[in-house]
Amino acid sequence: LDLAFHVGQLQDSSYIARRITALSRFLLASPGYIEQHGMPESVDDIANHRCICYRWPDGSLEDTWHFTDSNIKVFPKLSSNSTNFIRHSMIAGQGLGFLPLLLAVSALESGELVRVLPDYQSKNEDLWLLYPDRHGVSRATRLLIDHLLTEIPKIL
């Protein structure tokens, strides 16, 4: 492992952890999904929609979505441990998802995804860059780490 990204609370680890920035999640869907299933009018309406959830490597399901003022338990029709698969499923109209902007910015800019309930804000989570002990990091990896730490916060 040269480096990895991690969102959320860190577990004890032998890796060096550098906080990049705080991330907000956005409730998103494709225009086709909204046309077919309608736009939720409140956070409570989300439970009546087809939701797509992340499944952590330990098998736990991220089926409670945390907003600043409330939490909502969803009952997913689809789950995956790949955020890329989740994003593509959302674009294909398979359901609503709750993704960080970093993972959806290009789909939002192209119109493949739209914000759902934009007045509701998610709780922030930290984005971390993890890598082995500094002595084991190559020069190329060190340069990439420095670049990511500088440039990613500019995107968000």
pLDDT at 137 over 70: yes
Torsion of CA 138, 150, 106, 127, to 10 degrees: 80
Give 62-106 pLDDT, tens digit per residue.
Answer: 999 999 888 999 999 999 999 999 999 999 999 999 998 888 989
**Angle of CA points 5, 100, 70, to nearest 5°:** 125
Report the distance separating Cα 26 and Cα 97, nearest Å. Answer: 8
In the numeric block, the tokens 């990613």 are attached to 152
The pLDDT value recorded for residue 64 is 94
Q: How confident is the model at residue 156 (pLDDT cuts 50, 70, 90)?
A: low
Average pLDDT, the chain: 90
Give 11-21 pLDDT, tens digit per residue.
Answer: 767 788 889 98
Report the distance separating Cα 45 and Cα 67, nearest Å. Answer: 14
**Angle of CA points 76, 63, 154, to nearest 5°:** 110
The pLDDT value recorded for residue 63 is 94
Give 24-53 pLDDT, tens digit per residue.
Answer: 899 999 999 999 999 999 988 998 899 999
Give 86-98 pLDDT, tens digit per residue.
Answer: 999 999 999 999 9
DSSP per residue over 24-83, as a string? -EEEEE-HHHHHHH---SSGGGGGGS-BEEEB-TTS-B--EEEBSS-EEE---SEEES-H
Report the distance separating Cα 17 and Cα 125, nearest Å. Answer: 15
